[in-house]
Structure 1
Amino acid sequence: MSDAGVGRAPPRQTAPKSTDVRTSNGNHTDILGCKLEWRREDISLAHIRVGQAFVDLMEVQPGTSAHGHSMDHLCLAVVDFDLDQIRAGLLAQGVSVGESGRRFGAAGWGPSIYLSDPDGNGLELR
C-alpha cells in the first residue's frame, strides 16, 4: 500500500457528525468564514470549503453516533489513485475494505474506497 502514495498529499476532507447540520454549517460559514460548497438535503450533508479541503458535516440523530465516534470519516488523498491496486494491496494485508464508488469531494468527483482503522474510525482513500 505504501506505493500508492498515501501521505504525499494533504488530507482532502474530514467528516464530523452533527445532530444539527444547519447550526454547525452556520458555525463554519458565519463564524469561521468558510464557504458552503454544496448542500445535500437528501442525506443531510453539507460540504464546507476550507481552503482546498472540505469539512463534510453529516447529520445523525442524537444518541445514534456509531461506537461513540463523532467523526464519520477522514479522507486521504492517494497519488495516482488506482482502485484495483489499492483494493488488492489492502486485502493482501488483511484489511477489510468497504464500499467503493464515484463520489463528490474536495477535488470534485472521483473514485474512492472506504475502510476502517483499527479503532473503528472511517477512512476514505481517494
Structure 2
Amino acid sequence: MSKPPFSLVGIDHVVFIVDDMPKALAFYHDVLGCVPGYSYPAMGMEQVWAGAALIVLWDITHPGAATAVPPVQGGRNVDHVCIATSPFAPDDMRAHLAAHGVKIDREAQHGGARGVGHSFYIFDPFGNKLEVKGPAEYPDGR
C-alpha cells in the first residue's frame, strides 16, 4: 500500500444548507462569533470564519443554489460539526446561549482532536447540530 502524495492538515470547511441567509448569518456571527469570509452572491453562498476553518452557508432558496438542493427535503448527511473554542466557563456559555434563545441539546465531556473537554451541543436555526467544545481539560491518553 502506497502513501498518498499529500499530508493532511485539518478541516478546511464545512457546508451547511440553509433557507434564510440573514437568519443564518445572524446566528453564526452573533451566537458563535464567526467573522465574515468569502461571499459568492451569484450562488447564494456566504462563508464565515470559525477560527482557521470556514463554515459555508448555502441558501437553497437562491436560484444559484440549484445543485445544493437535497433530493429529499429534510434529509441529513452530516450528524454534527465540532467547533473548537478557547477556554470558557460553562455558566457563562449557558448564559450566552440563553441570551440568544439557543436551547442546549446536551452537555458532555467528550474527546476530540485536542483531547477531552466540555462540550455544548446546540442546533443552528436550520437544524444543523453543532458541538461547541472547549480545550482539553485533561489528556486524552496519547
TM, length-normalised to structure 2: 0.43
TM, length-normalised to structure 1: 0.48
Q: Answer 1 or 2: which has greater strand percent.
A: 1
Larger RCO, structure (CA 8 Å, separation 6 or more)? 1
Instruction: Please say which structure displays the higher CA radius of gyration.
Output: 2
